[in-house]
Amino acid sequence: MTDALLVAGCTSDAGKSVVVAGLCRMLARQGVSVAPFKAQNMSNNSVVTLDGGEIGRAQALQAQACGLEPSVRFNPVLLKPGSDRRSQLVVRGKAVGTVGARDYIEHRTELRAVVAAELASLRSEFDMVICEGAGSPAEINLRATDLANMGLAQAASLPVIVVGDIDRGGVLAHLYGTLAVLDPADQALIKGFVINKFRGDVSLLEPGLERLRELTGRPTFGVIPYSDELWIDAEDSLGTVGDAAVGRPGRPVGSDWLTVAAIRLPRVSNSTDVEALACEPGVAVRWVTEPSRLLDVDLVVVPGSKSTVTDLDWLRRSGIADAIGKRAAAGKPVLGICGGYQMLGRCIVDDVESAAGRVDGLGLLDLEIRFESEKVLAQVAGFADDIPVRGYEIHHGRVVRSGDGPLLQTVDGGDEGSVAGSVFGTHWHGLLESDEFRRRFLTRVAELSGRSGFVVAPATSVAAVRTAQLDLLADLVEQNLDVAAIRTHARS
């Protein structure tokens, strides 16, 4: 069998995804044939793969770090939360039903076989497979049915490193406690620790690391410093914080900035769509959760949602729906993407996701949506006037009537999306990553907003920005972790 390793974390959002991506990128740059793997992911940030399935966004980015196309092999089980109690279950890229915590347990035997088969297949093909855990291995109440953390490590004989986020405080206790609550068989697989997001003089931390070694008998393989320049795709909604800036906006080319408010819906999905806007110099993007934040911005984006009708109700209760309506009436730009697009229409008939039946939309687009049980999963391409564009679709809602002009034309000559004055909408995720389309769209936003001093940058490439982020991650890993020691354990 090939070398393999499991990167676990003290908590969700501890840095597992970025450590895996950094290791993958560093090894790929050295000519190692490497692949990522996450047995089970819980995230509404997903992408459509070339093999026609759906996986977590983080695994798609990790695949890119390896120089690979995204594949359902890298994330065979995906849970997409639609409420606090139930999630859509996606197996090998296809939705197979909706489950709660208790009935999900009934699927574990079948899912464990799926996970084992996919991991074994990858290990037979690649020199190294770097696996990412889910949540924390210290969730001992779930240990008997675990298939992503120590359950996977035991089944596949994987050495494990545990990542802790020092930004949260108490990281040494987190690392020690994670090890301490495991049973001896699981403890034996924990080879050491990594500390993430450290700020300051690392020598001040060294006495604590030495004491951690004395207490646990395990080394810390390195301390990754906090980097202001790092802001790659969020793994899930934990990375999408209300009233927080997206990215690190560069200085404007012209004299004016463009400001963007992205609505942080309770069940936001594919929140990474707005990152393409944040790549542009002079474009400041912020997640918002209350209506006053919409007063002076140049563009409002209503992103995708895993629970469209429920999040539409939240828009109304929060007062944001009224604020969006007033903006549209004043001719100020609004963009809806996927679920956000559906919310901007006249009505939604949903007997699938929410079972709410017919629900009035915001009425900003002459659009009617009906949900179907079969999910649309597709990579798509088309044109905006003469500009080639690409994206992907993940949704149950279908357009049954549209009275507005289209935003795009598909490659087969069909219409996609809507434009009504200053209101724009599309089902296509990733559309804003089409660089020339994004430039023209932002130029139109500037015109509608009266930002005559805004000048779009001529050569921003979202793909190049993501590549630079991955290389930065690889540099951080190479410079701050004892990768040789980690690889030695991966071979043992």
Whether residues 481 and 453 share a domain: the answer is no
pLDDT at residue 101 in the model: 67
Q: Is residue 184 part of a domain?
A: yes
CATH of the domain at 303: 3.40.50.880
Q: Is residue 242 part of a domain?
A: no
Whether residues 265 and 145 share a domain: the answer is no
Whether residues 157 and 302 share a domain: the answer is no
Q: Is residue 476 part of a domain?
A: yes
Q: Is the pTM of this model over 0.85?
A: yes
Whether residues 262 and 191 share a domain: the answer is no
Q: What is the pLDDT along the chain (492 residues), one digit of tens a residue?
A: 469 999 999 998 899 999 999 999 999 999 999 999 999 998 888 999 988 899 999 999 999 999 999 999 999 999 998 776 788 899 999 988 888 767 777 778 899 999 999 999 999 999 999 999 998 999 999 898 899 999 999 999 999 999 999 988 899 999 999 999 999 999 999 999 999 999 989 999 999 999 999 999 999 999 999 998 888 655 544 455 567 889 888 999 999 999 999 999 999 999 889 999 999 999 999 999 999 999 999 999 999 999 999 999 999 999 999 999 999 999 999 999 999 999 999 999 999 988 999 999 999 999 999 999 999 999 999 999 999 999 999 999 999 999 999 999 999 999 999 999 999 999 999 999 999 999 999 999 999 999 999 999 999 999 999 999 999 999 999 999 999 999 888 776
pLDDT at residue 177 in the model: 97
CB-facing half-sphere around the CA of 368: CA atoms within 13 A? 6
Residues with a catalytic annotation lie at: 338, 429
Whether residues 297 and 426 share a domain: the answer is yes
**Tokens 């389309």 label which residue?**
437
Do residues 303 and 274 make contact, with C-beta atoms less than 8 angstroms apart? yes
Exposure string over 221-258, b if 16+ CB within 10 A, otherwise e: bbbbeeeeebbbbbbbbebbeeeeebbebeebbbebbb
Number of domains in the chain: 2
CA distance 320 to 297: 13
Return contacts of 323-331, CB within 8 angstroms, 24+ apart: 323/291, 323/294, 323/295, 324/294, 324/300, 324/362, 324/364, 325/362, 325/363, 325/364, 327/294, 327/300, 327/422, 328/364, 328/421, 328/422, 328/423, 331/421, 331/422, 331/448
Whether residues 137 and 198 share a domain: the answer is yes
CA distance 225 to 241: 22
Whether residues 264 and 188 share a domain: the answer is no
Whether residues 217 and 274 share a domain: the answer is no
Whether residues 218 and 265 share a domain: the answer is no
**Domain hosting residue 45, numbered range:** 3-231+467-491
3-class secondary structure, 32: coil
Q: Is residue 244 part of a domain?
A: no
pLDDT at residue 237 in the model: 43
Two tokens at 125? Answer: 């093909």
Whether residues 32 and 157 share a domain: the answer is yes
Q: Is residue 462 part of a domain?
A: no
Q: Is residue 238 part of a domain?
A: no
Q: Is residue 103 part of a domain?
A: yes
pLDDT at residue 206 in the model: 96
Q: Is residue 359 part of a domain?
A: yes
Whether residues 222 and 309 share a domain: the answer is no
CATH of the domain at 51: 3.40.50.300
Whether residues 27 and 93 share a domain: the answer is yes
